[in-house]
Amino acid sequence: MVLPAALVITFYTLSFFFFIEKKLSFLQNSLIFMLISIAARNYTTILAFQLKWIDITEDSYLFIVFLLHREIIGPFLVLIFINVFWKTQSGGKRLVYFLIFLICLLAIDIFSLKSGVIN
């Protein structure tokens, strides 16, 4: 049940990203996506394997959910935030977008914790 939910979240995240009006060019978005993906991969590797602060599940379906979160959902949420943030002129709207973005990231992390993807 967790894998279909993660696939739906991934689909909605990608759909939302591809249909919003982007402030940054394709090259800028690609570079930011690569940098965020590398940073997320290094961050989770250090936390999980070196420091042993989090335990990643051994179940193959839940590990796919972990990979979807780390490689697709997280970086694309950050790209959505960056494009919307740079497009918005008002400081109040920027704060609201930041809070929405933060709540989305926290909700994805809580989803991973409650479903047993990470311990």
pLDDT in tens, 79-104: 999 999 999 999 899 999 999 999 99
Is pLDDT at 35 greater than 90 in this prediction? yes
Q: Sign of the CA dihedral 21, 24, 25, 28? A: negative
Residue 62 in tokens: 């839940």
Q: Report the predicted TM-score, pTM, of the whole model to 2 decimal places.
A: 0.90
First to last CA, the chain: 18
Please report how many Cα atoms fall inside a 13 Å half-sphere around the Cα of residue 66, on the Cβ side. 20
Domain assignment present for 83: yes
Instruction: Give the count of domains, the chain.
Output: 1
CA–CA gap between residue 64 and residue 70 (Å, rounded):
10
Domain assignment present for 87: yes
Query: What tens digit of pLDDT does each residue of 44-73 get?
Result: 889 888 888 888 888 899 999 999 999 999
Query: What tens digit of pLDDT does each residue of 4-17 get?
Result: 999 999 999 999 99
Span 97-112, average pLDDT: 94
Q: What is the dihedral of CA 75, 76, 77, 78, to 10 degrees?
A: 50
Amino acid at 35: L
Give the list of residues 6+ apart from residue 117 with CB closer than 8 angstroms, or none: 2, 56, 57, 62, 63, 65, 66, 69, 111
pLDDT at 57 (0 to 100): 84
Domain assignment present for 68: yes
pLDDT at 97 (0 to 100): 95
pLDDT at 14 (0 to 100): 96
- Print the domain residue range for 12: 2-16+26-115
Domain assignment present for 21: no
